[in-house]
Structure 1
Amino acid sequence: MRDHNRRNSDQKGAIVIFFALLLPVLIGFLGLAIDLSWLYLNKQKAQAAVDFAALSAAQKVVENPAAASAAATTMAAKNGLDPVNFRIEQDEHGIANIVRLEASKGVDLFFLPLFGYREWALHVTAAAKAYDRAAPVFRYTIFAGSDTSALSLSGNGNTINGKVRANGGLDITGTGNQFTDVVEYGGALSGMSGNSFTRLPLLMSPAPFSLPGWAELRDGAVQSYASGLVITEMNLNGILYVDGDVTVESASLSGSGVIAASGDIRITGTGARYNGAGSRAAYYSRKNIFVSGDGLQVDGVLCAPAGSIIVSGSTNRLVGALTASTITLNTSQSLFFYDASAVGLLTGKGAQLLK
């Protein structure tokens, strides 16, 4: 029995010694994992910062190269980066509209200083190109660009002043709707009965028109928000990018430009008017756009190319253009056209990141 107890005691002692020897190794691996995660997080933040600095510089490079260099340096420094190299390059047409920025950032570590590594230098690079997009001709109050799926338009007693275009089919659900201009469609047409058409709908081939890509809007933003945004007062100038939902409520909204959201856009109010008097905006959502209220007027282009636009309430006026795969209008809504190329969604100067 004494021999058995002695063996158990020896085994326990060996385990304790083994664990004591292994503990520093385990702590080292844990510290390494924490420091690597910390470095990865800082790398992401530094890359986003250098991207934004390059975009800021690219928007100035054509007209003022010196201002572009200053913008890159200033924006990098504001985000804790040390600019290492900035240069301007020409595109394939010989236009100096490309900027490249290299920057570094020292990151303090938590556990690796025990092994002699107190700080780690991160290096990030970004390139951006300025663009000047010519204004296309856009003459539609309602537009759906897909030629593979039908535009669904529903509601009763609404008035659509201006052209309607569906590159694919057009499915009208509801009655008492008035179409004061030509209706063009590229596939099957349904829902004419019970609605008024000033001119007979025309079967047309798809219109060669496309909106700018989401990445172009995001990268060309002059203001960016990392989460949802509620707008109660704003003078819009250029592209505003929001990673999340946007709500416009009881707002004093003026200026011209684009509000681009990765989530839903909600425009609310009673008797309010957003933009107008030459001050027009575009609202671009990767999901859906909701307009709700009574007697509300929105001067702007509403774009939800892959989602829906839903207008609820009564006697609201939408002055501009709507583009979506599904459009729902509650009773007694009025739509009016203005040239959508007047806002930055369809034309203007900006910048985009290069891979």
Structure 2
Amino acid sequence: MGSTRRRGQRGQAIVLIALIISVLLGFLGLSIDGGRAFLDRRQMQASVDASALAAAFNYMNNSDYSQAELAATNEYANNERLYMAPSCSGYGGLTVTCTFSDPTSHSLVITVANRSIAGVTFTATAVHSIGVTVMQVLGFGSTIPVGATATALARRTGTNGAAIQTLSPGSCNGASASLTFQGSSTTTVTGDVWSNGSIFDNSASAGGAVNGNVVDVCGAPPALSTPSPWTVSGAQVNGWNMPDPGYLSPPINSTSRSWNGTSGSVERPGTYTVDPSLAGGAGCYFLAGGVYDFKAGFSQNGGFVSNELRPPDEPNMAAAGQPNMTTLRSDLTGARQTSIAVNALPGPVPQGSLVSLWGGGQAQT
């Protein structure tokens, strides 16, 4: 009986091996063909990015849809190394469709949208197919579709970079606004104010001034147009949703810091428990890169604060082999004077330097 059962089980390993080989071939196909598709997708994303940016840049210089769309088409073809002229339709309108006669059937669609004061957006969407090898053997077809899209904004003349920009899609009814001004102090904003939701003023009679445009995405002009204490030098209009890159919030630096009151100092990121309270006559201060947490607030009624790093000190010219000059601090007086007070050199004199003194029309070395 035992011998009969063993003879009946012979050959079962072949079936298991065949199944395992099929699974391994599937993983092999995913790694080879999927890897090729991933690399191709990344290259295509770079191409549509360049295409959209080329259109926006061209439009800001020429204000012509047709020229901008042609620039986008050429940029995409150059990046994808497509050397045959495409067949395109719709130049000068809001949608351009191009097909390329290459083996992988590239197609490019350029969409234009007028966003009022926000500018004009150019969206480039591309699709093509790449051939597969292992996956085709397994019955998954001979090609894999690959696509990518990108959008670029061409700003209008007279618009500035956003001084305040919120990506939160807050409610447009004022109940939970994306951006809210509140408090009893007057706010002055130099630059545009942009919001992915509503902008709401809750500062009572304080108000403020915006030296730029105010743009949100709600169905009515931003709320800053209604409080009389607010003044806006530019336009107040509805814009479009700015894409949120989804970056994680940076960690708060818990290092305790104190504001350096010396003019020209570079402040360091960290936690400040005392308000710097910059008043009239305050100096210039520069913020090093990082996250600042002002627990008691940040008051500035004077001075200058910049997040652009202070330029480095000028190098010692003597160390660079250049002439280093100084001047007298006093005239020669009296008889038999043996010393003269001069301004200090900015650095040590390197060994072997030539030192010259000039006075009274005579030079001494």
Greater relative contact order (Cα 8 A, min sep 6): structure 1 or 2? 1
Q: TM-score, normalised by structure 2?
A: 0.37
Higher Rg: 2
Point out the structure with the larger strand share: 1
Q: TM-score w.r.t. structure 1 length?
A: 0.38
